[in-house]
Structures are given as C-alpha cells and as structure tokens.
C-alpha cells in the first residue's frame, strides 16, 4: 500500500504540480483512511462504497469540521480516480459520495486602524523585532500567502526597484511591488539583523528563525498571534487575514480589480471578486451609519 500511495503522490507532484503542503494533506488524509481500512480488515484495493461511507461517518462522529470531511473526500476521490485510470481497481468506491455542505464565511478584514496597531507592535530594537517588523509589513504590503512568504530568498528582493519575485501556486512566478514602508523595514532587517541570525553564511532564506534556519509556517503563525495579543485586537488574525485586508483596502482606495488579481496570484477572477462584495457591504454600512437620511 505504501508503494501505491507514494506513486500517487509522485504523480500529483510531477503531473499536477501541487505544492508541498497540498501533497502533505493528501498523504495525511489517505493514511488516516488506511488506518480505518485496517480496523475493518480491508485494503485500498478491495474497499467499497459502504466502507467509504463508514469512514466518512467515523469522521463525523469525531466531530470533524465539514471542511475537513470535504477535503478527505476530495483526497480519496482523486486517489481512487488515479487507481481506476491505472486499472488497479475495477470500480471507484468514491463515485457519487456526497460531501457535506460548507457554509461560506466572509473573510475577516482588519480596519486600517487595526492594521496600523498590529504593525506598530514589533519594535526594531533587536534581531527578532527587526525581522518581525519586516515580515508583517511585507505581508500587508504585498498580500502574499504565508507559504510564499517563508519560501522567499534574499535574491527574490529587488531593493533598487522596490519589488519581490514570488513563486505562487503551480510555481507561477509574479512580480509584486513592495511599497516604501515595507521596503524600509525589509532593508533594515537585511542590513542589521539577517546576517546575525543566519546559521551559515550561504543560507539563501530571506526570513530565518532564532536557530538561523528558514522560518516555518507555524513559526510565522505564532508571530502573528503574539503581536495580536500584544495589540489587544479582539479579532482572530491569521496570515491570510492580512492578505484579505490587503486586497480590500486596495479596492477601497480605487485599485483596479484586475491588478489586485494579478498581485494576489488568483487564477480565477471570481476568487478576487469576493473582495468586491465585501467592499460594497462595508461602504453600505458606513453610509447607513453616517448619512442623515439613510
């Protein structure tokens, strides 16, 4: 079974060009499914629709979120489709399996005041504070995903022209302007902190942790949570919150949605248009509160 899973993951990596994090999700979902199959004395190759439904019910009994269950179903569908196409299974047991309905929630958007308060928290008085200031400023200035942020190398920054080169989904490269305040914080970090934090001089990572290695997703998540508490902001802030806020604030200040789509690296325009409805609702709310005849 391990060989089948490895071949499937290699196929996703080579043919579908999926990211490392997505591949890890597929691997985790399928291995959890295998554990369930073992408990039923079944295998991947002789499983059936009844067994798959039983696995989904077990996830529900564990109070897994609908989004988690849907992701598991998607992973199994993709896996069995691969096996079926390679004639390793006679039938696809995930066919016609229904995923739970997921209630779409509007992205959390910070106000301009909340963003300013958050960005004011890191103090560039030591190595860590200088790095954290640069990271938060850069995320809000560019709207990059957290994976894109931590994968940046020093060579991806053009300090003279003021932009970063970013490899997004499916390794599609895009160029994003930085902005003066983020550029200043980034320059401060590179000039005065990064070199002292590196574990080896030839480390190409732009942002490193206290051990001198490339910062991880979890590391950056903890950084944001720390400064959220420091700022006493009663909103659940994640790395994606700054990405959402970046997009909405640009729209509110007249930026073209096509330009925002390009900077965010959205393949589908509909992904960016979500922010249009948020902006319109925010404007309507302001109008209703402020206009004497609203």
Residues labelled catalytic: 243, 287
Residues 236, 228: Cα–Cα separation, whole Å: 8
C-alpha torsion 77→79→85→86, nearest 10? -160
Task: Please name the residue that has the structure tokens 């903890």.
Answer: 222
Whole-Å CA distances, 292 to 184, 195, 213, 283, 284: 43, 57, 57, 15, 14
Residues 255, 265: Cα–Cα separation, whole Å: 16
Q: With contact defined as beta carbons under 8 Å apart, do 165 and 186 qualify?
A: no
Q: Where are the beta strands (DSSP E) in 40-188?
A: 157-158, 163-167, 173-177
DSSP 192: I
Residues 42, 89: Cα–Cα separation, whole Å: 14
Return the SS3 of 177: strand
Return the SS3 of 214: strand
Residues 258, 266: Cα–Cα separation, whole Å: 10
Q: With contact defined as beta carbons under 8 Å apart, do 251 and 279 qualify?
A: yes
């Amino acid at each position: 079974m391990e060989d089948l899973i490895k071949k499937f993951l290699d196929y996703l990596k080579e043919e579908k060009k999926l990211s490392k994090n997505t591949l890890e999700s597929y691997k985790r979902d399928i291995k959890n499914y295998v554990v369930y199959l073992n408990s039923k004395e079944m295998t991947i190759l002789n499983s059936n629709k009844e067994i798959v439904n039983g696995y989904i019910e077990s996830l529900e009994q564990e109070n897994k979120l609908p989004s988690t269950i849907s992701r598991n179903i998607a992973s199994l569908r993709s896996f069995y489709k691969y096996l079926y196409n390679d004639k390793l299974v006679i039938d696809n047991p995930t066919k016609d399996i229904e995923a739970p309905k997921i209630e779409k929630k509007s992205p959390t958007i910070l106000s301009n005041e909340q963003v300013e308060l958050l960005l004011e928290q890191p103090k560039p008085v030591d190595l860590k504070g200088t790095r954290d200031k640069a990271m938060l400023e850069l995320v809000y200035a560019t709207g990059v995903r957290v994976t894109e942020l931590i994968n940046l190398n020093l060579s991806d920054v053009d300090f003279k022209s003021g932009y970063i080169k970013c490899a997004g989904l499916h390794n599609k490269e895009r160029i994003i302007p930085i902005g003066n305040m983020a550029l200043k914080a980034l320059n401060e970090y590179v000039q005065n902190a990064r070199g002292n934090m590196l574990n080896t001089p030839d480390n190409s990572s732009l942002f490193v942790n206290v051990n001198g290695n490339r910062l991880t997703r979890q590391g950056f998540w903890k950084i944001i949570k720390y400064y959220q508490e420091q700022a006493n902001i009663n909103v659940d802030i994640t790395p994606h919150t700054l990405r959402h806020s970046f997009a909405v604030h640009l729209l509110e200040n007249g930026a073209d949605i096509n330009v925002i789509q390009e900077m965010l690296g959205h393949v589908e325009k509909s992904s960016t248009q979500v922010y249009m409805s948020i902006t319109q609702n925010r404007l309507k709310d302001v109008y209703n509160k402020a206009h004497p005849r609203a």
